Amino acid sequence: MSLKWNVGLLLFNEVEVLDFAGPFEVFSITEFPETGEKTFHVKTVSQHGDLIRARNGLMVKPDYSFETATSFDILIVPGGYGAEEIEIHNLEVIKWIQEQSTKVELLTSVCTGAFLLAKAGLLDNKTATTHWMDINRLETEFPNVKVLRNKRYVDEGNIITSGGISSGIHMSFHVIRRLISEDIALNTAKRMEYEITNI
């Protein structure tokens, strides 16, 4: 397995800021302590590559559009109002997620990003989680998904879903532990002053 992974963060209007900024920070600062070499190459991508307005007005310029994006090893699909109420009806975004699911090593979601994975049919007959406020909706709208409550994240192999907002940070440490080592995950958490005792 490669010792460096390309991470893509999907952006869209009204995306929850910490859903993508949390994992962005985690993966961006992770490095091998012996050499200081970065272990992840992190980039953002949106449908058209245009400036997007995240929740509460934060403006972000994605690195790529769907057309110009490089290949990713890990794709992170964040949530927020933009996921659960807007992009869930965007067939181009859903189709792109479906296509990416056949190419990436890991497809992950944060918060209500799970709704986009579910809409794409990628969570059928799998266990998953989302923000506690949206658990019932996910269960009702996607009955083929086994929805788990009170979980920071659910690892289904090549798909990992996580709970609300800050749970994406926790999930990111889990990915580091899985791909590299628990020590590096814990060292990264310590550097961020993120208290974590059980990844």
What residue spans define the domains of the chain? Answer: 5-191
Q: Is 195 exposed, middle or buried (0-12, 13-18, 19+ CB in 10 A)?
A: exposed
Give residue-wise pLDDT tens across range 158-183: 999 999 999 999 999 999 999 999 99
Which two tokens mark 110? 């944060």
In percent, the amount of the chain with pLDDT more than 70 equals 97
Work out the end-to-end distance of the chain between its first and last CA atoms, rounded to an integer number of angstroms.
Answer: 22
Q: Distances from the Cα of 72 to the Cαs of 10, 62, 105, 186, in angstroms? A: 11, 15, 8, 24
Q: What is the pLDDT of residue 198?
A: 64
Beta bridge partners of 147: 128
Q: What is the pLDDT of residue 41?
A: 97
Residue 1 has pLDDT above 80, yes or no: no
CB 124 within 8 A of CB 90: no
Give residue-wise pLDDT tens across range 75-134: 999 999 999 999 999 999 999 999 999 999 999 999 999 999 999 999 999 999 999 999
3-state secondary structure of 29: helix
Confidence of residue 155 (pLDDT cuts 50, 70, 90): very high
pTM of the predicted model, to two decimals?
0.95
Q: Does domain 5-191 have CATH number 3.20.20.70?
A: no
Q: Residues 62-96, buried b or exposed e (16+ Cβ, 10 A)?
A: bbbebeebeebbbbbbbbbebbbeebbebeebbeb
Give residue-wise pLDDT tens across range 42-65: 999 999 999 999 999 999 999 999
